[in-house]
Chains A and B, each alone.
Chain A
Amino acid sequence: MSDRSQLIETGKPFTFDAQRDAEFERLVTRYPTRESLILPSLWLVQEQEGWISAEAMAYIADRIGTFATMVYEAATFYTMYNLQPKGKNHICVCRTLSCYLLGKQEIVDYLKQELGIKPGEVSADGQYSLEEVECLGHCGTAPVVQLNGEFYEDMNVAKLKELLATLK
């Protein structure tokens, strides 16, 4: 966790594209209150843009008909919402318990060196971003890494090297 409250403003108003717009309206029918749409809407923004700006939060609030602070609270509380652009290849390394016991630090150190960034940062060319995350629920195949949401289990530095090679 860190202070996620310094939002980035793009300077341009935000709006859902046609697909997200339709999905939003569909989701409205699934819940008895519009406020329930806050988390799903934040996901829709992230699907569309890869990250969530201040303008996007204001858009969600106005579209749902709730306070901007409600959206602001949810966006900063839930750590999977990207409040800044991530790299084209977003790598999450699990750091908890079994992954820790089975060598996540080696993996993190290797990635820091290889990508030239620390956890929480995006590489200068925008290709990579790195994050240490909490237990991903794949402890039996630790250490585990997520690349753009896909799970890669039983990881080690060698396998990671191979994986990175496929991204080039």
Chain B
Amino acid sequence: MADKVKLFVNGQEVEVEAGKNLIDAIGAIGIEIPHLCYHPALGADGNCRMCLVGIEDGRPPLVPACKTRVAEGMKVQLDAEKIKKIQRDIMELELINHPIDCPICDQAGECKLQDYYMRYDGKPSRMTVKPVLKAKHMDFGCGVVHDQERCVLCARCVRFTRMITKTGELGIVNRTDYARVNIFPGRPLNNRYALNVVDLCPVGAMTSRDFRFKQRAWFLTNSPSICHGCSKGCNIFIDHNREKYKDDVIYRFRPRLNEKVNGYFICDQGRMTYKLENDNRLTTPRVGDRDAGFDEAVESVRRAVSQAQKTVVLVSPNASLEQMFAVQQFATAINAPLSGYSDGYIKQGDGDDFLIRDDKSANRASFALLGIDATKAGFAAAVGGADLLLSFDNDLSRSLSEAELGQLLATVKLVMVTSSQTECVAKAAVAVPVASYSEDSGSIVNGEGRLQRYEVAVVKNQPACDLLRIVHLLGGEVTNNQEARVGLQAAVAVLKNIDLEQVPAEGIALTESEVAHVAA
């Protein structure tokens, strides 16, 4: 447990964590010190001056909270009239040259200037002279659009490209109130994390071309979840909304803080995987050439399984731990070999030393926990002599060449239970739509052995059936996630002492050796 320090805030004694700056320490006990340029991942810059607080008997008596460490007995003044006046004055100076773009600015509703104006200012404008004008809607590359007039020159974006991605595409040029953010001519943003500056920017100076003008922030429901773009398992917010007469649709992913996984950021590619949840979905079941009802399609699969000489069950590395357990139980029950073959989901060499992993699936580590073979040899052996391949959301066209797939499907009938219209779906004899992860809940284990939980975010007008339930309809015993978890805790050694019903927000680290041990 961290050391504690006792100090005073507005005359009240409080206990805060030692070693932190005043913004973080006092923020942790629920008292806000307004700030624009400080960010925990980027450190303190001290340029916005919004976090100035009084220190009674202090030398100096007025300090930026971002640059001031807590000290025993420190007397912090936040509510004193002189500090309140400073906050109003700084806000006034932030706003005199700030364009009143709110009606057309994406940031409205999640804008620090709006929030701080309401909380700390509220005064009418005294600007009777012309404001400073700069460039607007500039294309910075990587889908980032910059507005120099809205910019408060907090330098968060510059510090991000210098300290985090170390690509340095952004800088603040000129001096005095001619200062503005810009890219060097011919060297736009060009890194795989560029869109994080949109989240970092406290105002609407950095917007995402993809999200621009699409939805107002206050209509969005922010559902916590986990990105399934790769095995890093970055924590995200799924921001979605159901407009009147329309369906519940995802408008964007944003990073969610998890100090143990992704910190404050996500990669651009992962950020854009929200489109996979919205677009190109398999929504209508198909039997043969014609569209069918759900019950009819499920019945068709049941019949195919009972009539097949040898069924092979293929499970996806994106399935949740609970789904994998249910599928495994089902495969055993129908005496079918089970494979997780999905080599095509791994892009060798694509990962980096930050958040991107070679393995573009979210839960491959659970194969090892459950002893599910995913080798190509194992798959080849499994499909040898098989006449039915039942794939639960595993897109074989990613792992087999067109020729190989064609050869396989010449002798094996394919049933796809999946959420999206992949190549495989077109080649399948029966296609059954299933809920995607954003519409479902479950546990996944990332490539570093951390178990995390995600809950239902999106609820479609016509919700698709979830995968575990479809397995049950086909004859599997496991009826829901809770049952699966009970079964998992009994069956998997490393999960025995974990309460899968109470997974903390930061996840649970299953030790690497234990995961490997089970796999071996």
Contacts and interface: CB of A to CB of B under 8 A. Distances in A.
Q: A contacts B directly in the complex (CB < 8 Å)? A: yes
Contacts of A4: 173-174, 178
B184 A68 contact: yes
A67 interface: yes
Contacts of B134: 3
B146 to A, nearest CB: 12
B162 A5 contact: no
12 contacts: A1-B176, A3-B134, A54-B186, A57-B184, A58-B186, A67-B162, A67-B167, A69-B183, A70-B168, A72-B171, A73-B173, A77-B175
Contact of A1 (B175, B183, B185): B175
Q: Classify chain A: how many residues form its interface, as a range.
A: 10 to 19
B187 interface: yes
B174 A69 contact: no
Nearest 4 Cβ contacts at the A-B interface: A67-B168, A69-B171, A68-B184, A76-B173
Nearest to B166: A67
Nearest to A69: B171
Interface of B: 134, 158, 162, 167-176, 178, 180, 182-187
Contacts of A7: 185
A49 interface: no
Contacts of A69: 158, 168-171, 182-184, 187
Given A67-B162, A67-B168, A5 B186 contact: no
Contacts of A67: 162, 167-169, 171, 184
Interface of A: 1-5, 7, 9, 54, 57-58, 66-70, 72-73, 76-77
A66 B184 CA distance: 13
Contacts of B172: 73
A1 B168 contact: no
A73 B180 CA distance: 10
A54 B173 CA distance: 14
Nearest to A73: B171
A76 B171 CA distance: 11
A5 B168 contact: no
Contacts of A54: 184-186
A73 B162 CA distance: 13
A66 B168 CA distance: 9
Contact of A5 (B158, B167, B182, B187): B182
Nearest to B174: A76
A1 B182 contact: no
Contacts of B158: 69
Nearest to B133: A3
A68 B178 contact: no
Given A66-B168, A69-B169, A76-B174, 16 more contacts: A1-B174, A1-B178, A3-B180, A4-B178, A5-B180, A5-B182, A58-B186, A67-B167, A67-B171, A67-B184, A68-B168, A68-B184, A69-B183, A70-B168, A73-B171, A77-B174
Given A57-B184, A58-B184, A5 B174 contact: yes
A70 B171 contact: yes
Contacts of B183: 69
Contact of A77 (B167, B169, B173): B173
Given A67-B162, A69-B168, A3 B184 contact: no
Interface centre among A2, A68, A69, A73 (most CB of B within 10 A): A69
A20 B88 CA distance: 52
B326 to A, nearest CB: 52
Given A3-B174, A76-B174, A68 B187 contact: yes
B132 to A, nearest CB: 10
A58 B184 CA distance: 9
A10 to B, nearest CB: 12
A148 B134 CA distance: 32
A73 B168 CA distance: 12
Contacts of B162: 67
B174 to A, nearest CB: 5
A72 B174 contact: no
A44 to B, nearest CB: 19
B418 to A, nearest CB: 45
A52 to B, nearest CB: 13
Contacts of A2: 178
Contacts of B175: 1, 76-77
Nearest to A76: B173
Contacts of B186: 54, 58
Given A2-B178, A58-B184, A72 B168 contact: no
Contacts of B187: 58, 68-69
Nearest to A9: B185
User: Which residue, of B134, B167, B175, B184, has the highest number of chain A Cβ atoms within 10 A?
Assistant: B184
A3 B158 CA distance: 19
A132 to B, nearest CB: 16
B153 to A, nearest CB: 12
A42 B421 CA distance: 57
A42 B168 CA distance: 19
A73 B173 CA distance: 5
A58 B173 CA distance: 15
Nearest to A75: B173
A76 B134 CA distance: 16
A3 B175 CA distance: 9
B165 to A, nearest CB: 11
B97 to A, nearest CB: 14
Nearest to A79: B175
A66 B167 CA distance: 10
A163 to B, nearest CB: 31
B88 to A, nearest CB: 28
Contacts of B168: 66-70
